[in-house]
Structure 1
Amino acid sequence: MIDSSRPANPIAARARARMIEHLRKLGIRDETVLDAMNRIPRHAFVEEALASRAYEDTALPLGFQQTISQPFVVARMLELLAAGGRALGKTLEVGTGCGYQAAVLSCLSSDVYTMERIAKLLDRARSNLRPLRLPNVRLKHGDGNLGLPEVAPFDTIILAAAASKVPEALLKQLARGGRMVMPLGTSSQVILMIEHGATGGFKETRLDAVRFVPLLAGTE
């Protein structure tokens, strides 16, 4: 649960409300997703010098050749995962980055396991998340291509970096009836949604064109 005892920033709250209205105009309709994004202070996850731009609909640099994703893309991917009133359940996020999307996921999921391959970036995410006091978010330093087999299966898997192909290990960790959404491709990327049938088999749907940093192997 988000710590409601922290003092509100009225300027940021107004900017966040404008961001939510912008997302509605772009076609985001899932009010649970919009409410989750309205609850999370995106400005707390970017460098202080960029805080005034936190609620613009654009990706922003984090260092380490990584970015915080564009709000519309975050909303779009989460809306796909929640389509049909589906609960996200136990969620694996690959690519913690600054921790922003993990915080949003905490409002939609029963449990969030988030992985980051860059240790110093994971430390920053942990610092960003600590004031929110989110008991259902667990951070892990590791190679996201491998997932977390020790706590699988996951009802939901979301990737915040683009893979050239679907990681086989993640498919094996997706629960029956589960959904995975990820950017797929190298020079040209699209959102790929994978649905694991209740009786087995996978259905793939290719959607919007996107631009993400590449999903890399290993850790640093």
Structure 2
Amino acid sequence: MSAIPARTRLLDYLERREYLRTEAVREGMEAVNRADFVPERQRYAAWDDTPLPIGRGQTISAPHMVAMMLEELQPRPGQRLLEVGSGCGYHAAVAAAMVAPGGEVHTVERIPQLAQRARANLAGVTNATVHHGDGSCGLPEVAPFDRILVTCGAPRLPGPLREQLAVRGRMVVPVGGHTLQALLVIERDGDEWREERRPGVAFVPLIGKHGYED
């Protein structure tokens, strides 16, 4: 058996595959134990590069996808970040490590049982708050956000999320069909908006007023 910890082996692999490109994202992923966020029966696979079921038809994203999205999002210390789709809370925990010190993460989950689980999993993360509600509407009472991370596939860019992105903000959102999407990387610079597309991602659908119908 290798003496290299499973977490280190995985992160080294993600670097070789160029999913991990910056020290900031690597340090964020090193700071969080993925095994603490997956169901007990799945913990043997916590450091495999694969999505895992977490119940209610939802999954925890594969580590390569977490790395890829955070590399595109580029969270920075001191920023306010919105996550749409808390799931088990893992992605929010990594993001919270990246925006510390001084930053905060607000994550929204529509499924009450998962919101409760994410809240329990994030209990020790002092700069992360779990909200139960329709993430496609964002959180206007907390906006604007320097970074917005959407972890489910939308049929189109939800208007409220665009409105809640701060000047010089950045958003990453999968947009497309129910099973296959392109990853949109959106930047706002005053009244100017820039958009890039990264094809070939697959996320569970965004359910809500500005997403798909339940």
Pair in the same fold by TM > 0.5: yes
May I ask how many residue pairs the two structures share in their alignment?
Answer: 204
> Is 2:177 the partner of 1:204?
no
Name the SS for the 2:117 alignment partner.
helix
Measure how far apart 1:88 and its partner are: 7.0
Aligned to 1:17: 8
Letter in structure 2 aligned against 1:123:
Q
Aligned to 1:38: 30
Give 2:74's match in structure 1, choosing from 69, 76, 82. 82
Letter in structure 2 aligned against 1:73:
M
> Is 2:88 the partner of 1:98?
yes
1:94-124 per-residue CA deviation (whole Å, 9 max, x = no partner) reads: 0000000010011112100000000111111
Per the alignment, do residues 80 and 153 of structure 1 end up closer, same or farther by CA in structure 2, a change over 3 Å counting? Answer: same
Measure how far apart 1:87 and its partner are: 5.0
Give 2:57's match in structure 1, choosing from 65, 85, 90. 65
How far apart are the structure 2 equivalents of 1:87 and 1:72? 22
How far apart are the structure 2 equivalents of 1:75 and 1:179? 16
Letter in structure 1 aligned against 2:87:
G
Measure how far apart 1:201 and its partner are: 2.4
Gaps of 5+ in 2: none
| Contact 2:180/2:203 (8 A) holds in 1 | no
RMSD value over aligned CA atoms? 1.9
Letter in structure 1 aligned against 2:140:
P
Aligned to 2:181: 189
Name the SS for the 1:108 alignment partner.
helix
Aligned to 2:138: 147
Name the SS for the 2:113 alignment partner.
helix
Measure how far apart 1:208 and its partner are: 3.7
The normalised TM-score by structure 2 is: 0.91
Gaps of 5+ in 1: 1-10
Aligned to 1:8: none
Higher helix proportion (structure 1 or 2): 1
Give 1:26's match in structure 2, choosing from 17, 24, 33. 17
Name the SS for the 1:34 alignment partner.
helix
How far apart are the structure 2 equivalents of 1:35 and 1:64? 30
Name the SS for the 2:5 alignment partner.
helix
Name the SS for the 2:116 alignment partner.
helix
Letter in structure 1 aligned against 2:64:
F
Give 1:115's match in structure 2, choosing from 108, 129, 138. 108
Name the SS for the 1:149 alignment partner.
coil
The normalised TM-score by structure 1 is: 0.88
1:119-170 per-residue CA deviation (whole Å, 9 max, x = no partner) reads: 111111112222xx21110110010110000110000000010001000000
Moved more, 50-59 or 121-130: 121-130
Equivalent pairs: percent with the same residue? 44
Aligned to 1:124: 117
